[in-house]
Amino acid sequence: MILQGILIGLIAGYGRIEQSWLGQQMIARPIWLCPLVGLVLGDFQKGLIIGGTLELIWMGVVQIGATPAEVVSGSVIASALAIKNGMAPEEAVALAIPIAMLAVLAGTLITTTNSFWTAASERAVENADTKKLYWIGLAGGFTYLIIYFIITFAAFVFGSGAVQAFVNSVPPIIKTGLTNASKMLPAIGIATLLRFTLDNKYAGFFIIGFALASYGKLGTMAIAIVGGAFAYIYYQLKPNAEVE
């Protein structure tokens, strides 16, 4: 368990150093992190299912200014505890939301801690010390890695039993309600994203996709292929002036 806890903690730390060390590589997303957790814990398929479901919920979350939820911690901790305790993916989703909200407090702690590096970087800028500025940038990312590693490691190693005891104590009617609610959350996530991105002239493609999934009973891969074909046809038939 200790080795697994270390690896889970490193996955969370790896997800949180993205903007500090690696630039925007989209590694701090559930669709990437949860399968890694599943790989470590020996259930890649469940990790992929949990990650895909959480991605649908949080795909519209962009960390600009105040973040409504800490996606990395919520995804990694919830998927790890769910896989270890044999919980269903729906239960993992219900668990991830409150964990992500609580993890915002950890983000506040880290931001406060990193204020030390902000002052140091300002002094480096004033002295035109680019080498020192480079190492300060790495140090800020390292702070994220260490704190999220500790939080995730502790939650996995010491919180597993508590989570399982809590799950066992929840009445069946509550579990059913949480399961049904978790199934609606991806739809809410997609609806929130469509509110800002959907253009009326593309609405027909959305309706076709809905019909293929609901009435045609096609799987995700089949719908993706059909969508790609429609996109290609649309691109080829669109006037060149509009394409440019």
**pLDDT tens digits along 23-82:** 667 787 888 899 999 999 999 999 999 888 888 777 655 544 444 457 888 888 888 888
- Residue 195 makes CB contacts below 8 A (sequence gap 6+) with none
- Best CA proximity match to 74, nearest among 17, 129, 155, 145: 155
Q: What is the pLDDT of residues 110-120, one digit of tens each?
A: 666 666 777 77
- Percent above pLDDT 90 for the chain: 7
- Residue 149 makes CB contacts below 8 A (sequence gap 6+) with 9, 10, 12, 13
Domain edges within the chain:
2-171
Whole-number pLDDT of residue 193: 66
Residue 213 in this model has a pLDDT that exceeds 50: yes
Mean pLDDT score of the chain = 76
- Best CA proximity match to 114, nearest among 148, 139, 132: 139
**Residue 67 burial by Cβ neighbours in a 10 Å radius (0-12, 13-18, 19+):** middle
Distance, in Å, from the CA atom of 13 to the CA atom of 66, rounded to the nearest integer, reads 20
- The one-character DSSP state at 22 is I
Residue 208, SS3?
helix
Whole-number pLDDT of residue 65: 44
pTM, rounded to two decimals = 0.60
Q: What is the pLDDT of residues 187-203, one digit of tens each?
A: 666 676 677 667 777 78
Distance, in Å, from the CA atom of 130 to the CA atom of 50, rounded to the nearest integer, reads 42
Whole-number pLDDT of residue 66: 44
Q: What is the pLDDT of residues 146-173, one digit of tens each?
A: 888 888 888 888 776 665 566 566 677 7
- Percent above pLDDT 70 for the chain: 69
